[in-house]
Amino acid sequence: MSADGPLAEIAVAATVAIVVGALLTAPLHPAIVNVVVLVSIGTAMVLYSLIVGISVSELPAFLWNIVFTSDSSRTYLLLFWSANVLASICFGFYVTMQSKSSTRHRKFFHLTVSLIFVSGLFFDRDFIWLSGWLMLCIFVILETLRFFEVPPWKDPLNSFLLVFKDEQDFAVILTPIYLLLGIFLPLFLSPNDEPHLYHLAGVAAVGVGDSVAAIYGSLFGATRWPRGKKTVEGSAAMAASIVVFLVAARPFCVAPAPSYLVIIFTALILAAIEAFIVRIDNIALPIVGYLLLQ
């Protein structure tokens, strides 16, 4: 049996246990959450070892072999992903030193996550599926530690996660979690398919369209939609960028691919939704795009 599926399931279960445990123990003392994290991860390691039929002492080498295979393409892919992660970390520290985060700052992470996803989708689909689940779990755990002010993590996490915070976030910073989930959601919904255009719905809507709308709208937007903050110019730029991206990606996806008319219709619908939706657009847009491009 493949080891990827059970690993993702165990990781999600451990993450849920950490969140629930934090809810129960943080009111007593935030430091107790550290114990919850250690117990949850330790239990997850034991359970996964039992599932794959190895001892816990063999688990580090087993996980190493899952990540680092003899395939040279995996090596190049990991180097490319590492470069994107390093760029994100450096940019995060830069923004932290500026003590403020703008819309254009946040869209940098849309770019790096999209590059990681697209490269993985076409060159190592199973591995990017697993990586997506693990990244999502990591960000949920980090936000849990930050939200409950768990020592010694609260200060560095508060500083670093500032760059992700936007006007939709209040006490809980959900923007990076929504970003990851939105971009990876089409693959999570159809993990066994060859790369189709609908797998790129999250990248088209969130990684490309939403980013272009925010940046172009903030720079050149002059006409606002009625009873909203979004601009007509930003929405038009979003629709155009989605069309360009999907048309460019279409030849690289398996047939049958959606027609150009469907692509244009999808772009217009996504731009219209983004113009008026206030919350969870990073989730709603990929779902709608995924369904329309089927």
Whole-angstrom Cα distance, residue 177 to residue 42? 24
Residue 48 lies in a domain: no
The 10 Å Cβ neighbour count of residue 238 is 30
Residue 130 lies in a domain: no
Whole-angstrom Cα distance, residue 244 to residue 239? 9
Residues 6+ apart with CB under 8 A from 210: 110, 238, 274, 281, 282, 285
Q: In the chain, what are the helix, strand and coil shares in percent, each to the nearest 5?
A: 75, 0, 20
Give φ, ψ of 254 to 5 degrees. Answer: -70, 155
Number of structural domains in the chain: 1
Per-residue pLDDT of the chain (294 residues; tens, 9 = 90+): 477 899 999 999 999 999 999 999 999 999 999 999 999 999 999 999 999 999 999 999 999 999 988 788 899 999 999 999 999 888 877 777 766 656 666 788 889 999 999 999 999 999 999 999 999 999 999 999 988 999 998 888 877 766 666 655 555 677 888 899 999 999 999 988 789 999 999 999 999 998 899 888 888 877 888 877 788 999 999 999 999 999 999 999 998 889 999 999 999 999 999 888 767 778 999 999 999 998
pLDDT of residue 172: 67
pLDDT of residue 164: 65
Residue 177 lies in a domain: no
- Indicate the angle between helix axes 260-276 and 281-292, nearest 10 degrees: 160
209 close to 241: Cβ distance less than 8 angstroms: yes
Residue 207 lies in a domain: yes
pTM to 2 decimal places: 0.90
pLDDT of residue 3: 77
Structure tokens at 128: 């990017």
Residue 261 lies in a domain: yes
List the Cα angle 25/31/33 in 5-degree steps.
45
Residue 230 lies in a domain: yes
Please name every residue paired with 231 in a beta bridge, in sequence order, or none if there are none. 224
Residues 6+ apart with CB under 8 A from 20: none
List the Cα angle 17/281/172 in 5-degree steps.
40
Domain that holds residue 259: 193-293
Nearest to 235 by CA among 192, 275, 264: 275
For the chain, how many residues are written? Answer: 294
pLDDT of residue 1: 44
